[in-house]
Amino acid sequence: MNKILFCSVMLSSLLLAQPTIDGVITDAQYSTAGTYTSGQNGFGDENDLGVLKFYADGTNIYIGITGELNSNNNIVLFFNFSGYAGRTGTLAGSGSSSTGVFRTSLTAGDYGLDGATLDMDVDYALAFNEGGQPTNLYLDAARYGTTGYLNSGYVGSSDQSGNSAVHSGISTLFGGTGSIEFAYKNDFSVNSNNGIEMKIPISVFSGVNATQTVKLFALITNASGFISNECIPGDLGASNLGNDANLSNVGSQDLFTADLSLPVELTSFNAIVNSRTTTLKWRTATEQNNAGFEVQRRNGAEWSALGFVEGHGTTNAPQEYHFTDAQAAAGKNIYRLKQLDRDGKFVYSNEVEVVVGLSAADYALSQNYPNPFNPVTTFSYAVRQRQHVQISVFNLLGQEVATLVNGQVEPDVLQHVRFNAAQLSSGIYYYSLRTADRHEIRKFILMK
Residue type, 375: P
DSSP 87-130: B-SBSS-TT--BSSSS---TTS-B-TTTT-B-SS-B-EEEEEE-
Would you call 407 exposed, middle or buried from its count of C-beta atoms within 10 A (0-12, 13-18, 19+)?
exposed
Instruction: Tell me, rounded to whole angstroms, the distance of Cα 315 from its chain centroid.
Output: 26
Is the pLDDT score of 413 beyond 90? no
* pLDDT, tens only, 350-385: 888 888 877 777 788 889 999 999 999 999 898 888
Instruction: Name the pTM for this structure.
Output: 0.62
* pLDDT, tens only, 12-50: 444 556 799 999 999 887 878 888 876 777 787 778 899
What mean pLDDT, rounded, does the chain reach? 83
Q: Which residues pair with 10 in a beta bridge?
A: 213
Between 311 and 10, the higher pLDDT residue? 311
* pLDDT, tens only, 57-94: 777 889 999 998 887 789 999 998 888 888 887 887 54
CA distances for 128 relative to 155, 158, 404, angstroms: 10, 10, 55
Q: Of 36-45, 284-293, 308-317, 427-436, which range is least confident?
A: 36-45
